[in-house]
Amino acid sequence: MLNRLRERVAGVMDPVGRAISRAGIGPNAVTVLGLIICLISAAIFGLGNQALGGLVLLIGGFFDVLDGAVARASGRETRFGGFLDSTADRYADLLLFSGIMFATVSGSIQEPGFMAGQGWIWSLAALSGSLMVSYVRARAEAAGSGRMDVGIMERAERLILLGIGGLLSLTCYALVIIAVLSHLTVLHRIIEARKRLG
């Protein structure tokens, strides 16, 4: 959903991408930097600091958009760059939800309405849903479905929701929304793939 909006704002990001490219920084380096920022966010969440973790995560999400702008500005859009970006995104998801899972198990993150330690269940559900959203898209497109970006809970939505949830110290509630909507997105894509692939 927001991925379509990202294409519209690509022109706004291009001047930033050109500036970074002129500084000699390549798109793959930006991708790796974004992954490192997500790792830092995961560690902060793991220590129980939801607000700072959410803020750092939103900054990391900016780099998730920026690597494409740098690639366009430098004329270095490659298939490997897309592969690296997708791989880094999966690691970032694993790190983030694992950090939150650790915090909920250890009691560093406790929120009203959730029993002690219950948050790890929603962390696991959100993580599995996030990975399956990406897997179903990749598998459908490899089978010839065309671009499979249907659904309401793609990666951009997950990052923003989790970042805002952290800022408001409502991380567990954000996990519930991500978990439910991610698995609904998987179902949506399966139905759409069935229509397209026959």
Catalytic residue annotation: 89
Residue with tokens 């499979």: 148
The closest of 7, 28, 19, 142 to 82, measured between CA atoms, is: 28
Distance CA 183, CA 39 (A): 24
**CB within 8 A of 57, min separation 6: which ones?**
38, 41, 45, 96, 159, 162, 163, 166
Q: At what angle do helices 119-142 and 155-167 cross, to 10 degrees?
A: 160
The secondary structure of residue 113, as a DSSP letter, is T
